[in-house]
Amino acid sequence: MTERLDLKGIVAFTVLAFLGAWAVTLPLWMSGQGLASRGAGILLLAMMMTPAVATVIVVFILSPVRNKRIELGLMLGGRNWWSYWLFAWIAIPTFCFAAPFIGALFGLYPLDVTAFSGFREMLVRSGQEQLLEKISIEGLVAIQFINGMMAPALNAIFVFGEELGWRGYLLPRLKPLGQWRALILSGVIWGLWHTPIILLGHNYPKHPQLGVLVMVGLCIVFGILFGWMRIATGSIWPAVIGHGALNGSAGAVLLFAKAGEEFDAIQAGITGWTGWLLPIAVIAILAIKGFIPAREYRPETATSEPPPPLPDEPQ
């Protein structure tokens, strides 16, 4: 990992990633239909690859690195790497499924865990009411939970493009600023990179402008967790797992809502501030226990201490 602030590489990577995101989503802006445009889903997936493209351009051309496999965190990780993989696979979906219940405690989410009326209504509106004739609503909710737990594997190929950039390239180059600063700043950059789709209503359709700032907050919270795992293991794979879990389980907020009542994504669900409370509590525990800042694993020297096992509390 780099020992000095590679300002040239950081600026080049950030500019390329941001320009790539705007270029890929330009057809959505020009269509006048935004996220409802034909092919929008494909463009969003293509946008997720722009940090990887920026990384390749920088590390091969603009600011080359010697051992790309190690410096970009493409190895499995140091000793105890499996505990970080497990944490990412279990904890992140748990945060997502717990978020609606935490929002309900604050009176900001209309909870219905008896009839699942909002989920039922959504199925009917989308023309899938025939599913209700074959499977009970409780069974369909259970299937969604299983899908959420499978999300890290299903989404890994898509989120890899982002993680190669944010945690593979950018975070290590910000580390000379100090771990906390690097974790927070990389989260800010990651959040702002989403601007072209957030302004179109992605995640926060009621508040597209304010949503840009809220998205930054979301990315800071999860960027700290993903970045901590990256530094502790020397590998991006726990972050890839966690990111895949986050993207695949965020829709849990739709499962438990009461039909006919609305909620604000800025306040409820994993995208809202109440959904951040549990992961922030875990971050606080990790910091109190001394796991953040992380003891960095340096596979190129094999002299640093291996990453410690996770504390019992967050698991």
Question: Mind listing the pLDDT tens digit for each residue in 110-141?
Answer: 999 999 999 999 999 888 888 888 899 999 99
Round to whole Å and give the CA distance between 71 and 76: 13
Inform me whether the pLDDT recorded for 303 exceeds 60.
no
Q: What is the mean pLDDT of residues 100-112?
A: 97
Output the pLDDT for position 103. Answer: 98
Burial class from Cβ neighbours inside 10 Å (0-12, 13-18, 19+) for residue 101 reads middle
Inform me whether the pLDDT recorded for 163 exceeds 60.
yes
**Confidence category of residue 312, pLDDT binned at 50, 70, 90:** low
Q: What percent of the chain has pLDDT over 70?
A: 94
Q: The pTM is what? A: 0.92
Output the pLDDT for position 313. Answer: 40
DSSP readout, 207-267? -HHHHHHHHHHHHHHHHHHHHHHHHHHS-SHHHHHHHHHHHHHGGGGGTSBPTT----TTT
Q: What percent of the chain has pLDDT over 90?
A: 78
Q: What is the mean pLDDT of residues 165-169?
A: 98
Output the pLDDT for position 63. Answer: 81
**Confidence category of residue 307, pLDDT binned at 50, 70, 90:** low
Output the pLDDT for position 300. Answer: 59
Inform me whether the pLDDT recorded for 314 exceeds 50.
no
Cis omega (within 30 of 0) on the bond before 293? Answer: yes
How many other C-beta atoms can be found within 10 angstroms of the C-beta atom of residue 130?
9
